[in-house]
Structure 1
Amino acid sequence: MVHFAWRCNIGKKAKIMCKVKFVSEFDALEVVTNELKSKLTLVFSRLKSIEKEHAEQWKVRKWMKVVQEALSSSKPAEENTDVEMALSEVPGDLEEESMYHVWELQELEALADANLKSDYGCSMTGLYDLVAIIMHKGADADAGHYISFMKKSVFHAKLGDGLTFDKDDGKVLVFPREKLGMIDGGGEDASAYVLLYRSKPLA
């Protein structure tokens, strides 16, 4: 990303005051060769469908939790009839999430191209997750303030990716993921300057 340029009217480098949109997931399939694209497409497509399935499963689990809490409440049994009927309509039992991860990983590894699997560090999917951002605050290219953000899961996978760490002068704060759209530039305020992406794992 280029956020600084030489301004002839003031005789120095200055911050480019325009928005530069960026994505939290980078899809490289459109910029690779056709040969590489053919090797990535199967795993890419299946991984995207698995992520969609995960989103649906999450909704069902969340809904089931609400229903079960309603059933265990202190309401009289007759008032829980509708809740019990709703719970009985859940399509089948959901397995433990860890079991899905095992099955999905096996399936994706079977789909992965053998040559790519033997190339250490190579992306199997062509997908990359945004894991860290360096931001610049201020208008002057030779001054201002730099702040870094990093996903919790970069060092602690079990913590998840819902929030990022904000490291500013030794202080570690929590930065909500939904606010990423506020750091795409457009003024002197803090804006993304360097984006770091990591190859998306199979599972």
Structure 2
Amino acid sequence: MLTVSVKWQKETFPAVEIDTNLPPYVFKCQLFDLTGVPPERQKIMVKGGLLKDDAEWSTVGVKQGQKLMMMGTADVVKAPEKSPVFVEDLPEEEQVVAVGHTAGLYNLGNTCYMNSTLQCLHSVPELKSALTKYTNSTRSNDVDSLSHNLTVATRDLFNELDQNVRPVAPLPFLTVLRKKYPQFAQQQNGVYMQQDAEECWIQLMYTLSQSLKAMESSDGTEAKGLFGIDLVSRVHCPESGEESSEMESVYSLKCHISQDVNHLHEGLKIGLKSEFDKASPSLGRSAIYQKESRINELPRYLTVQFVRFFWKRESSQKAKILRKVTYPLELDVYDFCFDELRQKLQHPRQVLRDEEGAKLGLKKSDAAGSSNSGESPDDPMEEGNEGKEVGKSEKKPHLTGIYDLIAVLTHKGRSIDSGHYVAWIKQENGKWIEFDDERPSERREEEITKLSGGGDWHMAYICMYKARVVEF
């Protein structure tokens, strides 16, 4: 950990901490919080040139107490001034082009939490494909009737969304959801209450994972393979010296928010550590245990939840943390992975770098040529492969640990029991669409990165990232 001073325009920030275990991009996010200058606009002068986002601090040469200079103009975060153009107001043929056959969902009375969840999950083509194959004959014996009905309702609703450009009323789905999970049927003064989108996401994901188990396949297109994250944890009791390891599967990573968290990377790091009380066999009483987790298996789609709500004792209700926490369009989780998984990721990551370098006209690195280690496909020209044609060998997709943002579920308001949820989805054509219930509207990518909090505007509550894969 280093402490430096940063001069920006007429201001000087005398004690800015640098965690040298985190990339310089996180340091830029700290400066963003102090100055309002987005990381991509920052130019930080260091010895020999400008500070790069992916540089190693050990090679940068920054010293304790050093004075750094930053250039860049601050950004003003505010709601978009231009009124959105609603897709439903366009001619029908233009709606198809703009939204890609994806319709909005009518709000059936405080159901924005459900609509935004459904729109995010509907954006996953592999999930839609798996649901299309789900029938009574594929239903497992241990799947209860309500879980089966909810899975069928999800399948039918997704099909209806794909076949319409006009808004769809999700009443059959809502009816089954409330039967399966009565908490979503709570009323106050005869009106259905607002519910938590993350709770809806968890319950629906759990149901689909159970129902689609009977269809598990080697290509990982079941719910577990698409969204499941396997964690390996070290549990340690400092007082007794007891130590053990645990394995668990989860469907999202948590980004914990504190006064020290300015960027998603920092919140995820905190979220993978915890402390809890439990009985110690060696001490004969309860003691504090520390748990530190690492990712042991990655999914095709990585879900991240911002832990923005907490229980406020004085008001006996859940309050919201409004703090601004930035998140990237490209997320690299390599640093959060278990050692064995890191080893597996190294070759695919090198292949990815070579492919991206080739697009820029760069030569393939020597590292890729020497990192086969049994993971790369057979060379068709090697001995024993003379009969195979070049390019005919079967290629398989490999995860790289790098993910691209494809969906953001936001919450506007200060209480989990009120406010409004919206889904922001990236289409296959690269356009972003804001799904505000039945009103889809096109958005610019720069608007998506501004949904990071810090006020009463929409802020990210759940982010979904799609894995960047390579085939070899």
Normalising by structure 2, report the TM-score.
0.27
Match of 1:202 in 2: 470
1:180 deviates by: 2.4
In the other structure, the counterpart of 2:424 is 149
User: Aligned letter for 2:310?
Assistant: A
Q: Give the conservation status (yes or no) of the 8 Å contact 2:398–2:470.
A: no
For the residue of structure 2 that corresponds to 1:189, the secondary structure is coil
- Look up the equivalent residue of 2:443 and give its one-letter code: F
Partner residue in 2 for 1:170: 438
Query: 1:130 offset after TM fit, Å?
Result: 1.3
Letter in 2 for 1:51: E
Residue 350 of structure 2 aligns to a residue whose secondary structure is helix
**Distance in 2 separating the partners of 1:5 and 1:35:** 35
Superposition map of 1:50-199 within 5 A = 50-54=355-359, 56=360, 113=375, 124-153=399-428, 159=429, 161=430, 163-199=431-467
Matched position secondary structure for 2:399: coil
SS in 1 for 2:344: helix
* Aligned CA distance change for structure 1 residues 33 and 149 (closer, same or farther; 3 Å): same
Instruction: Tell me: CA distance 1:145–1:42, structure 2 relative to 1, closer, same or farther (3 Å).
Output: same
Alignment partner of 1:24 out of 319, 322, 329:
329
Give SS of 2:348's match.
helix
Give every structure 1 segment of 4 or more consecutive aligned residues whose post-TM-superposition deviation is greater than 4 Å: none
CA displacement, residues 32-83 of structure 1 (integer Å, 9 cap, x when unaligned): 12222122112213313433553x47xxxxxxxxxxxxxxxxxxxxxxxxxx
The answer to whether the Cα contact below 8 Å between 1:43 and 1:125 also exists between their aligned partners in 2 is yes
Q: CA deviation at 1:11?
A: 2.8
Quote the Cα distance in structure 2 between the aligned partners of 1:22 and 1:173: 22
Secondary structure at the aligned position of 1:124 is classed as strand
**111 and 183 in structure 1: CA distance in 2 versus 1, 3 angstrom threshold:** farther
SS in 2 for 1:22: coil
Equivalent position amino acid for 1:191 in 2: M
The one-letter code of the counterpart of 2:444 is P
Alpha-carbon contact 1:123-1:199 (below 8 Å) kept:
no
Partners of 1:42 and 1:112 within 8 A in 2? no
Alignment correspondent of 1:5 = 310
SS of equivalent to 2:307: coil
Q: 1:152 to 1:26 in 2, by over 3 A?
A: same
Indicate how the Cα distance of structure 1 residues 29 and 112 shifts in structure 2: closer, same or farther if over 3 A, else same: farther
Moved more, 131-140 or 35-44: 35-44
Instruction: Report the counterpart of residue 218 of structure 2 in structure 1.
Output: none
Match of 1:36 among 323, 330, 341: 341
Alignment check: 8 A CA contact 1:133 1:194 kept: yes
Matched to 1:10, the amino acid is: S
Change in CA separation of 1:14 and 1:33 when aligned onto 2, cut-off 3 Å: same
Instruction: Give ranges in structure 1 of 5+ residues lacking alignment.
Output: 58-106, 115-119, 154-158
> How far apart, CA to CA, are the structure 2 residues paired with 1:185 and 1:174?
21
Q: Which has the larger radius of gyration?
A: 2
SS at match of 2:435: strand
Could you tell me whether the CA contact under 8 Å between 1:135 and 1:191 is conserved in 2?
yes
Task: From the superposition, tell whether residues 171 and 148 of structure 1 become closer, same or farther in structure 2 (CA, over 3 Å).
Answer: same
Check 1:50–1:25 CA distance in 2 against 1; reply closer, same or farther (3 A cut): same
Tell me the amino acid that sits aligned with residue 25 of structure 1: E
- Secondary structure at the counterpart of residue 448 of structure 2: helix
For structure 2, which runs of at least 5 residues remain unmatched after alignment?
1-305, 362-368, 377-395
8 Å Cα contact 1:112/1:124 also seen in 2: no
Contact 2:410–2:421, Cα closer than 8 Å, also in 1: yes
CA distance 1:49–1:177, shift in 2 (3 Å): farther
Q: Which amino acid aligns with 2:403?
A: Y
Looking at secondary structure, tell me which structure has more helix per residue. 1
Displacement of 1:4 in angstroms is 1.0
Measure the CA separation in 2 of the matches of 1:34 and 1:178: 35
SS of alignment partner, residue 452 of structure 2? coil
Secondary structure class of the residue paired with 1:42:
helix
What amino acid does structure 1 have at the position aligned with 2:426?
K
Quote the offset at 1:134 in angstroms. 0.6
The change in CA–CA distance for 1:124 and 1:9 in structure 2 (over 3 A counts) is: same
The answer to which structure, 1 or 2, has the higher relative contact order (CA under 8 A, 6+ apart) is: 1
Per-residue deviation, residues 132-184 of structure 1 (Å, max 9, x unmatched): 1110011111011000011101xxxxx2x2x3111012111111111223110
Call closer, same or farther: CA 1:111–1:175 in 2, change over 3 Å. farther
- Are the equivalent residues in 2 in contact too, given 1:40–1:113 (CA < 8 A)? no
- Give the aligned residue type for 1:192: A
Cα gap change, 1:111 to 1:186, in 2 (>3 Å)? farther
1:189 is aligned with what amino acid? Answer: W
